[in-house]
Each structure stands twice: as C-alpha cells, then as structure tokens.
Chain A
Amino acid sequence: GAVVSQHPSWVICKSGTSVKIECRSLDFQATTMFWYRQFPKQSLMLMATSNEGSKATYEQGVEKDKFLINHASLTLSTLTVTSAHPEDSSFYICSAGTSGRAGTGELFFGEGSRLTVL
C-alpha cells in the first residue's frame, strides 16, 4: 500500500502554545487528506477534509480557528492546534486518498501524533 508519514509522533507542549503536525504522502500524490482525532477506546472522529489548493471542510463541532489545516501541495497537509489546552490532548491521525485509486475509501493512514498539553 501507499505510505503516509506523520510527524511528530509525540509532542508535549505547554497550555497556550501552538503545535503543528505534518502529514506527507511519500509515494503518491494525495489530492485529498483527512484529519481524525481518536480518544482512548473510541473510534476515529473525522475533524476535517483538506483538498490541495483549497480551504479545508470542517465537520460540525470542530473549531476551524482552533484547528488550522493547510494542504499546500499534493504531498503535504498540516494541522496546527492553536492555543492548545489540556482538553486538546488526543491522538491525531491523518489519512490520504488518491484520485487514481477508488476515491475516498482506500485510505492510507499515518502513524498518528499523540499530543499532550500540560
């Protein structure tokens, strides 16, 4: 399968600071990337869909000013958690789909980034 790289895998920050998480498709061009959040013992919660060169589409209840998403190229999407607070502590996972494959469903996931806000 295709490879999606996510960085950093683990980050600890102080409350009030901003944290950027990168998601890269290494061997394919990802026209669409997805950002998920996962709480312990719960499933993946879609936060937003980012399309290369356009604004991200956020799911209901997700603060777009808190979670800034940029998809500036076909291989890179970034999620910035602004003014992070302890309740933002979670496991964030990105995934990518390619237009050359069967649309959304054949998603390839990054390794995830665990954010801990002190």
Chain B
Amino acid sequence: QKEVEQDPGPLSVPEGAIVSLNCTYSNSAFQYFMWYRQYSRKGPELLMYTYSSGNKEDGRFTAQVDKSSKYISLFIRDSQPSDSATYLCASYSGGYQKVTFGTGTKLQVIP
C-alpha cells in the first residue's frame, strides 16, 4: 500500500465549477500536508501548506485535513481554465523527514 493514495483522474469540469481533489494517507506520523500544482513540463508549485487537522483558505483554494480519517482535500472555487494542471498532494511527519507525494490528479477545466 502506498503511503499517499491519489486518484490519477483525469477530472474534467466546466469553468466556474467547484473542484474537489482528494487524497488518503496511511502513515499516522504525518503532520504536515501540502498541495502542489504542476503544469505540463514544469516543476511543482506549492499551493497550500497545512499542519495537522483543519481548514486553510487562500483565495479560491481551500485545503482540508481530517487526521481521524486520514483524508486530505483541496477545493477550488470558481475554477478557471488556467487551473488545468496536475495537482499533487504530499505529506510528511516533520523536521527534515522525507516528503511523500501522491501520484497526482490531472484536472481539466473546460471553458
């Protein structure tokens, strides 16, 4: 079993829709949870960085962590074509431990 599981998609939504991206993880030691956006042939860009359970909002993006169910989510409101990319979730336990990435979900927002 992979430590971080993510549906690879692809996920296609119309412009303006609310997008829900999800991951599950198995390592109870994970304390930090991140979402990265990666455009084709580019390096990942950090979108959200959260600690422990709870919600964090940044503009149209909301990250949600439920440690009791080991479930992490990213919501994108009013999705735009420019949001079309692969979204990677990632987790780690803290300090300088290795970060574990999901396989990424490819999102396409259709104008």
Closest to A10 in B: B41
Q: Does B42 contact A (CB under 8 A)?
A: yes
List of B residues within 8 angstroms of A110 by Cβ: 43
Interface status of B1 (Cβ within 8 A of chain A): no
B46, A106: Cβ atoms closer than 8 Å:
yes
Tell me, in angstroms, the Cα distance from A49 to B96 when the chains sit together: 10
Residues A104 and B88 in contact, CB atoms below 8 Å apart: no
On whether the beta carbons of B43 and A103 are closer than 8 Å, the reply is no
Q: A109 near B43 (CB under 8 angstroms)?
A: yes
**A43 is an interface residue with CB less than 8 A from chain B:** yes
Known contacts A104-B97, A111-B43: does B49 contact A43 (CB below 8 Å)?
no
Main SS at interface, chain B? loop
Inter-chain contact B43/A6, CB cutoff 8 Å = yes
- Interchain CB contact (< 8 A) of A105 among B44, B45, B49: B49
Once the chains bind, are B95 and A104 in contact (CB under 8 Å)? Answer: yes
* Alpha-carbon distance A106/B90, docked complex (angstroms): 11
Q: Contact at A43–B102, with CB atoms within 8 Å?
A: yes
Q: A102-B51, A104-B96 are in contact. List 10 more A-B contacts (CB 8 A).
A: A34-B99, A49-B96, A93-B44, A95-B44, A103-B94, A104-B92, A106-B34, A109-B44, A112-B42, A112-B43
> Which 6 pairs show the lowest CB-CB distances between chains A and B?
A109-B43, A105-B32, A43-B103, A112-B43, A43-B101, A104-B96
